[in-house]
Chains A and B, each alone.
Chain A
Amino acid sequence: DAGVIQSPRHEVTEMGQEVTLRCKPISGHDYLFWYRQTMMRGLELLIYFNNNVPIDDSGMPEDRFSAKMPNASFSTLKIQPSEPRDSAVYFCASSLNGDQPQHFGDGTRLSIL
């Protein structure tokens, strides 16, 4: 299996711009997670989906962040407008169910200037 695929790997943009991060989970996995990792705060869960339905979005920092999962093989995390404090590595992960190991993508390194 190809594993969890994220794109782009790196994104540099100016503050105020819209940023869209993409994720393709492992085929057959029912759960999809979005995380953010920074030196200051470590790894934080932003939102996760079960069968394409958002289950818990309490980690989404504010209304500028939104996530969608239109089908079982694709999800997006959008930031609009972006701010410098959004700079971080964003990871997507998937698992068969909530009690199975999570498999992570290699992340998107986002820099907002």
Chain B
Amino acid sequence: QKEVEQNSGPLSVPEGAIASLNCTYSDRGSQSFFWYRQYSGKSPELIMSIYSNGDKEDGRFTAQLNKASQYVSLLIRDSQPSDSATYLCAVNMRRYSTLTFGKGTMLLVSP
């Protein structure tokens, strides 16, 4: 089982729709969770962090964490073509000193 798993996509949504990106992880004791956005040819940019169960909202972005289900998601409301990118999920697992990254989900927002 992969330790941090994401659907590779692409996830295609029309402009204005809600995009839902999902991430599952294997270590039940994981404490910190992050979402990064990576445009093609560029480096990853941190967009959200979440540490406790529930929702965390920042503008059009909402991160959702369910530790019991070992699941973290990112919702993007009112999706824009400029949101088209690969979204990486990163998890702090107890057995590692560094973050563990998923391979990312590509999001395509069509005008």
Binding between chains A and B: no
Residues of B within 8 A of A (CB): none
Residues of A within 8 A of B (CB): none
